[in-house]
Amino acid sequence: MGLVKLNDLPQLQIADGVVARVVTAESVSVMHVQISAGSPIPEHSHHHEQVVNVIEGVLELTVNGVKHNLTPGKVMVLEPNVVHSSKAVTDCRVVDVFQPVREDFRGTSFAGYSQKD
């Protein structure tokens, strides 16, 4: 694949106040996310392993009912099929890594979260 310019990738509307650009490699998806303060991502699960990296801001991540405040330098590793949701406490920039590839983020739009994929 080589060099990717994030601004050349389509911007996906993930939820209200949540936009992302996704780099899709052969075996992983790397999602660069901007979340406006107060914006939630609904409870969901998926068969992907996920690594959540907060680059800027404070993200309240709820995993199996337990709330965690993620800030730069705190990384959450989510096992496949774990139920989770989040809400931006402040404006946030987050980099999420998914394995295997998130096929639902591969195109130019996102159909929305199913409750438990």
pLDDT tens readout for residues 6-37: 999 999 999 899 999 999 999 999 999 999 99
| 106 band by pLDDT with thresholds 50, 70 and 90 | confident
Q: Where are the domains of the chain?
A: 11-101
CATH superfamily, region 11-101: Jelly Rolls (2.60.120.10)
Calculate mean pLDDT across residues 103-115.
Answer: 69
What pLDDT, on a 0 to 100 scale, did the predictor assign at position 115?
42
Q: Which amino acid is at 101?
A: V
Is pLDDT at 5 greater than 70 in this prediction?
A: yes
Distance, CA of 89 to CA of 35 (rounded, Å): 9
Least confident of 35-49, 61-75, 102-116: 102-116
- Given this model, what pLDDT does residue 9 score? 92
